[in-house]
Each structure stands twice: as C-alpha cells, then as structure tokens.
C-alpha cells in the first residue's frame, strides 16, 4: 500500500505533479520554520548565559531572563514545530491521497498570517506584554491572528484530504487530519475562555493547563505520530502492520491526551490532579499500541534506499525517544514520584526533549526526505551530517543533564546540570545555524543554477513570456 506509484506507470510521473503543487507553499512554511528554530536556539543560549553571568545585560529590560525564556519557547513551539508540522502534513496528505495540494495559496497566505502572529507574540513578550500564563505566553491580542492563519492553512489541508484518490484513509492520514482540526479548536476555546470570558482566578490556569495538555499530548504528538506512520513504512518499503493498534491508539490518545496535565500539588480542587494521573495511565495504553504497531512494521528493517537512511534512522531514534518518554511520563504522573519531580528542572528538560527530541527530530528527518524532491537539489551532505550530529547531541546535552540534575537536587537548588545544558544549547545553536545556512544555500543554488525553482520565483516573468 505504498502511496507512491511505481515510476513506470506513465511517462508523466504523478508524483511530480503533486510535488509541483506542494513546492512553493511547503518550502515557504519549512523555511520560516527553520528560521524560527535559529531564533529559538539563539535566545535559549542567551537565557542560559543569563543564568551563569548574573550581571550581564542587566540594564536592558527586554533581555531579562523572564522575557527571553518564554519568548524562545514561543519561537520553538509556534514558530518551528507548528509550521514545519504543517509543511510536512501538507506534503504527506497530498502524497498519501495521490492528489495535488488544493489551494496552495491559502497555505502561503495562512503561513504569512501565522508568521506575523508569532512575530508579534515574540515581540510582545520581549516588550513586556506577556499574558503571564505558561502555555499561552503571547499577548492575548495575537491569538485571533494565529487562529485565522492556522484555519487558512487547515482549509487547504482538509480539502486536499477530502480529494484523496483512494477512499481508504491510512493511520498517517487520521493522525494528521485530527491534528489539523484539533489545534484551532483548542486555540479558539482557550482564547475565548481566558480573554473573552475573563476566566477568574485559578480558572485561567486550568484553561491554560488544558491548552498545554491538548497542544502537546494531542496536537504535537499526533503530528509526530502521523509523520512516523507515513515515513517508517514508506522509507523501509514495508507495509504498515497493525492498523487496529493504530486505531486503538488514535482514540485512546485523543480521549486521554485531551484532559489532565495538572501537577500533583496545584492549588485547585483535588480531583484535577487525580484526573491527570488517571488520564496519564490510560494514555500510556495508546503509547504501547503505537509502539507495538511500529515495532512490527519496522521489524529490524533498514531503509530501502540508502539516500534515506539518515532520515529513517533519525525517525527510529525519535520513536525510541517517544516510547521512553511515555514510560517516564506515566511513572512521574503518580503523585509520589510526581511531587519529587515537580518544580525541578526535570519538567522543562522533558518538555524540550519532547519538542525537539521527538517531534522536532521527526519533522527535520521528514524535511531531509522531502526537500530534494521539492527543490530539485539536495542539502549539502557534509553540512547535513554536521548539523544532524550537532542537533542530536545538542538535544541530548540540553535535556538529560538538567533532567537528572533536577531529579537529584530537588527544587530550589541547582546542580551542575545547568552547565552541561548550556553546552547542549551551544551545540543546538550551531546545528540550527548550519541547518538554516544549508536550507538557504540550497534554495539559492537551486534558483541560480538549475532553474529547478523557476516555478516559484519567476512565475511573473513566465506569465509575461506567455503573453
């Protein structure tokens, strides 16, 4: 059930038509995502420096640790992950459905709105207009902008999915379709509850936790899993085994990923932390089902095409991160271990590991695979190797020591974990800078030399020529 038809079906490869329709919008979203990753790693490193040198940059308010840290989180989650997720979803939905991307213009326009929203939110946090909530740090006013931007992109994705050639939908399509609809719902829901109906007191925090839980456990996880469910079978040239397991996981993770996320000691009615523990345990059933399905699918196979082996191995690593985090999450969801880990650097470290080590790694790997077919030219292999090593080591370096340090030291005390974490931040910065240059260079090279991207940048000239 490979989505890609055989080369020799017809002279005109349908994949080429699909790629042509994806080219502009997907590359636009992917490029802005890579740029936001660079912004994230720069500000994350700055934040780390502020912890070591307390007197540095003390006189400028916009460089306060409390501003650059949340701003960098916004750049990572909304700038990088969501946009690259949308780009990869667009590519997968159109390739799986064997149909051209419908209304790519919406994708570009929506992407511009989304970028404007993230930029305004980023600047808003730096200028001191943060909302004070943890999940929705950006000023409330930019949320409608983000919402409409996402809805425009989503319109295109949903229409593309509706025009698929096969009636059957594969697990990859369920997960990506659900993710595309879920984010605008929770975004609009939390905006209305917090900023329109003015949730009073801790209700604002409860809505915020609800948003965080839905954003990570449903939206980002589903984007990551949808991509895995497409690429792991596609790159290894095997059939996906265990559609039933995937279906089970889909509903379980949707139901239990959408409630919970309240810490064991939170100053709210006691049933909320209890509900979070229960839902985390049930969610783990879904994680196991995903693992069973993927394990049976891969079954030790390596990539069918050696050109894809890097992307394929990265995805396998990310799948490993997914299952290990699933086990850790269910363990620390219980009140006993949970209150040991609560308020320590374990929390942010796990968040970063999830964002970059699981979702980010999968999406970057997917980008490695789809970029050549879109731009007509591959990334520089040498730079790709360096940047991948730097990013993987950076993610591990920025997360594992501070997670361990957090667990060992307890809260309010910081061990040396922070110094290692800063080393990880530096590696991440190097990796994302090379990725950015690599991307940018490849695009420039493609435009100048081989005319592969003529369709994008010279459309106006072409039209003139036709006239």
Partner 1 sequence: MTIGLSFILGLLASSVSYFMLGLWWPVAVLLGLFAWLAFGLLDVKMDSTFTLLGGMLLVFCVSLSGMVLRANDQLSGLQYADTQDEAGTEFRYPVPLLGQARYGEKIYKASGCAACHTQQVTHEGVVLDVKAMGSEKNLAAVQEAASRFYKFTGRKASGGAVLGFVAGEWETIVTGANAADASKARNFLTRAGASVDVQVRFRGEDLMHNDLQNPEGRNWGRRRSVAQDYLFAEPPMLGSVRIGPDLANIGARYNRDMLMSILLDPKTLKKDSKMPQHGFLFKQAEKDEQRQPTREAEALVDYLLSLKSAHYPLPEAPVDQPFTSSLPKPVQIPAETADTIKPDEAGK
The residue within the footprint of partner 1, chosen from 193, 280, 303, 392 (CB under 8 A), is 193
Among 1, 4, 5, 66, binds partner 1 (CB under 8 A): 66
Q: Of residues 6, 10, 55, 300, which one binds partner 1 by CB under 8 A?
A: 55
Asked if 174 is part of the footprint of partner 1 (rule: CB under 8 A), the reply reads: yes
The answer to whether residue 455 forms part of the interface with partner 1 (CB under 8 A) is no
From 186-194, 367-375, 428-436, 448-456, span contacting partner 1 (CB under 8 A): 186-194
Among 112, 278, 404, 437, binds partner 1 (CB under 8 A): 278
| C-alpha–C-alpha distance, residues 325 and 331, integer Å | 10
Backbone angles phi, psi at 246, to 5 degrees: -65, -40
b/e burial code for range 14-48 (CB count within 10 A of at least 16 → b): bbeebbebbbbbbbbbbbbbbbbbbbbbbbbbbbb
Q: How far is the CB of 134 from partner 1 (least distance, A)?
A: 6
Q: Could you identify the residue written with the tokens 């934040």?
A: 47
Footprint of partner 1 on residues 199-228 (CB under 8 A)?
A: 199-208, 210, 214
Interatomic CA distance for residues 17 and 117, integer angstroms: 32
Of these, 244, 381, 451, 455, which contacts partner 1 (CB under 8 A)?
244
**145 close to 123: Cβ distance less than 8 angstroms:** no
Q: Are 59 and 122 in contact (CB under 8 A)?
A: no
Q: Spell out the SS3 assignment of 376-418.
A: CCCCCHHHHHHHHHHHHHHHHHHHHHHHHHHHHHCCCCCCCHH
258 binds partner 1 (CB under 8 A): yes
Q: Assess 342 for contact with partner 1 (CB under 8 A).
A: yes
- Least separation in angstroms between residue 47's CB and partner 1 is 9
| Alpha carbons 391 and 398: distance in angstroms, whole number | 10
List strand residue ranges (DSSP E) for 53-188, in order. Answer: none
Q: Does 440 bind partner 1 (CB under 8 A)?
A: no
Determine if 307 is a binding residue for partner 1 (CB under 8 A): no
User: For residues 365-424, which are near partner 1 according to CB under 8 A?
Assistant: 410-412, 414, 418
Place of tokens 């660079």: 38
CB-wise, 129 or 302, nearer to partner 1? 129
Q: Is 233 among the residues that bind partner 1 (CB under 8 A)?
A: no
Burial class (CB in 10 A: 0-12, 13-18, 19+), 288: middle
Position of tokens 């490993």? 320
- The only residue of 14, 65, 313, 400 in contact with partner 1, by rule CB under 8 A: 65
Q: What is the helix (H) or strand (E) element at residue 223, kind and residue range?
A: helix 221-236
Contact residue for partner 1 among 131, 216, 422, 438 (CB under 8 A): 131
Whole-number minimum distance, CB 253 to partner 1, in Å? 10
CB of 210 to partner 1, least distance (A): 5
Interface pick for partner 1 out of 15, 116, 123, 129 (rule CB under 8 A) = 129
Closest distance between partner 1 and the C-beta of residue 150, in Å? 16
142 binds partner 1 (CB under 8 A): no
User: For residues 95 and 2, is the Cβ–Cβ distance under 8 A?
Assistant: no
Query: Of 180, 184, 77, 154, which is closest to residue 122 (Cα–Cα)?
Result: 77
Residues 322-341 that bind partner 1 (CB under 8 A): 339
438 vs 217: CA distance, rounded Å? 31
Q: In whole angstroms, how close is the CB of 232 to partner 1 at the nearest point?
A: 19
Rounded least distance, CB 46 to partner 1, Å: 11
- The verdict on 265 binding partner 1 (CB under 8 A) reads yes
Stretch that binds partner 1, among 38-46, 282-290, 296-304, 366-374 (CB under 8 A): 282-290
Min dist CB 203 to partner 1, Å, is 6
Q: Residue 144 or residue 347: which is nearer to partner 1 going by CB?
A: 347
- Tokens encoding 159: 């229409």
Tokens of 183: 């984010």
């Amino acid at each position: 059930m490979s989505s890609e038809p055989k080369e020799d079906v017809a002279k005109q490869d349908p994949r080429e038509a699909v790629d042509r329709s994806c080219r502009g919008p997907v590359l636009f979203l992917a490029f802005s995502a890579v740029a936001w990753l660079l912004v994230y790693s720069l500000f994350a490193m700055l934040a780390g420096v502020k912890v070591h040198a307390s007197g540095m940059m003390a006189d400028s308010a916009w460089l306060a640790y409390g501003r650059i840290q949340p701003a960098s989180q916004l750049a990572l989650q909304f700038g990088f992950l969501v946009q690259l997720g949308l780009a990869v979803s667009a590519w997968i939905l159109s390739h799986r459905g064997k149909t051209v991307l419908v209304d790519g213009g919406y994708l570009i326009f929506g992407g511009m709105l989304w970028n404007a929203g993230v930029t305004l939110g980023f600047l808003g946090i730096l200028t001191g207009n943060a909302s004070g909530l943890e999940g929705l740090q950006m000023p409330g006013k930019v949320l409608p902008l983000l919402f409409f931007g996402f809805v425009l992109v989503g319109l295109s994705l949903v229409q593309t999915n509706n025009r698929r050639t096969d009636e059957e939908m594969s697990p990859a399509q369920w997960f990506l379709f659900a993710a595309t609809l879920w984010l605008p719902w929770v975004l609009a829901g939390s905006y209305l509850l917090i900023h329109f109906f003015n949730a009073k007191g801790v209700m604002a925090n409860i809505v915020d936790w609800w948003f965080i839980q839905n954003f990570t456990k449903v939206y980002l996880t589903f984007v990551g899993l949808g991509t895995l469910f497409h690429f792991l079978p596609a790159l290894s040239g095997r059939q996906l085994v265990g559609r039933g397991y995937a279906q089970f996981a889909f509903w379980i993770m949707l139901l239990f990923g959408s409630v919970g996320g309240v810490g064991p000691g939170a100053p709210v009615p006691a049933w909320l932390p209890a509900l979070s523990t229960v839902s985390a345990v049930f969610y783990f059933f879904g994680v196991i089902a995903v693992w069973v399905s993927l394990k049976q699918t891969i079954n030790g196979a390596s990539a069918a095409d050696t050109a894809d082996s890097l992307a394929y191995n990265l995805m396998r690593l990310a799948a490993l991160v997914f299952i290990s985090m699933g086990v850790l999450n269910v363990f620390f969801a219980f009140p006993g271990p949970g209150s040991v880990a609560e308020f320590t650097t374990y929390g942010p470290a796990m968040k970063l590991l999830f964002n970059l080590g699981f979702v980010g790694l999968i999406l970057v790997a997917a980008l490695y695979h789809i970029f050549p077919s879109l731009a007509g030219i591959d990334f520089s292999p040498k730079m790709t190797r360096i940047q991948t090593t730097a990013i993987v080591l950076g993610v591990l370096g920025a997360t594992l020591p501070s997670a361990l340090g957090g667990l060992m030291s307890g809260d309010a005390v910081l061990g040396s974990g922070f110094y290692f974490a800063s080393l990880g931040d530096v590696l991440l910065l190097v990796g994302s800078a090379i990725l950015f240059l690599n991307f940018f260079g490849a695009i420039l090279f493609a435009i100048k030399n081989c005319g592969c991207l003529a369709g994008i940048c010279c459309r106006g000239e072409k039209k003139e020529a036709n006239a």
